């Protein structure tokens, strides 16, 4: 069996083996994205690996998950605004087209992005941004991770991850 945490992001988060986890929230895990071409990109993973869509959760859990999503989005917004004066806004997406588990993408957007992309969905960025090792999450993102985690804590976002 492959022991790569990426093959079981939710299970590895529950086991404390997912290195991208920022915090455990009420119904989810706040994680920093594997790719950081837009610094601060984060993902909200459901804590229920059987949930493939928002409607799979009972109403109370669904509402709590959406509360976690807004909390992570606000934390990313606060941290990115503090760290980069060119911060523009946050985009939030629940797509579910590729990965078979409920998750939400939290994309910070910046004024320094290419003019032809800044007003378009992130998914239109060229392949190099998604594949280049230059955008992989690494130690140089530790300050960003800390900033988002601190904001989650200020917003009541759960225990340290």
pLDDT value for 2: 47
pLDDT value for 96: 80
Distance CA 58, CA 123 (A): 30
Q: 88-120 pLDDT, tens per residue?
A: 999 999 988 888 899 999 999 999 999 999 999
Please state the rounded mean pLDDT for residues 35-61: 96
Contact 148, 87 (CB under 8 A): no
Contact 28, 13 (CB under 8 A): no
pLDDT over threshold 70, residue 160 = no
Contact 148, 90 (CB under 8 A): no
What is the model's pTM?
0.93
pLDDT value for 3: 61
Name the percent of the chain lying above pLDDT 70: 95
Distance CA 159, CA 136 (A): 25
Q: From start to end of the chain, where are the E strands? A: 21-24, 28-32, 42-46, 87-93, 103-110
pLDDT over threshold 80, residue 161 = no
pLDDT value for 143: 96
Where do the domains of the chain lie, and which CATH numbers do they carry?
Answer: 5-154 (3.30.428.10)
Q: For tokens 């837009």, what's the residue?
A: 38
- The kind and range of the H/E element at 151 are helix 142-154
**Which has more pLDDT, 30 or 6?**
30
Burial of 75 (0-12, 13-18, 19+ CB in 10 A): buried
Contact 80, 87 (CB under 8 A): yes
CA-CA-CA-CA dihedral for 147, 114, 69, 10, to nearest 10: -80
pLDDT over threshold 90, residue 135 = yes
pLDDT over threshold 80, residue 1 = no
pLDDT over threshold 70, residue 30 = yes
pLDDT value for 99: 87
Mean pLDDT, rounded, of the chain = 93
């Amino acid at each position: 069996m492959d022991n790569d945490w990426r093959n079981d992001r939710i299970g590895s988060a529950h086991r404390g083996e997912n290195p991208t986890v920022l915090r455990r929230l009420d119904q989810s895990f706040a994680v920093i994205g594997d790719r950081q071409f837009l610094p601060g990109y984060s993902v909200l993973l459901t804590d229920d690996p059987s949930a493939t869509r928002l409607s799979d959760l009972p109403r109370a859990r669904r509402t709590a998950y959406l509360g976690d999503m807004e909390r992570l989005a606000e934390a990313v917004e606060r941290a990115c605004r503090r760290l980069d004066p060119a911060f523009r806004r946050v985009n939030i997406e629940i797509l579910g087209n590729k990965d078979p588990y409920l998750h939400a993408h939290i994309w910070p957007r910046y004024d320094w992005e290419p003019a032809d992309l800044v007003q378009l969905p992130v998914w239109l960025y060229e392949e190099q941004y998604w594949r280049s090792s230059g955008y992989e999450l690494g130690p140089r993102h530790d300050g960003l991770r800390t900033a988002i985690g601190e904001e989650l804590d200020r917003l009541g976002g759960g225990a340290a991850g």
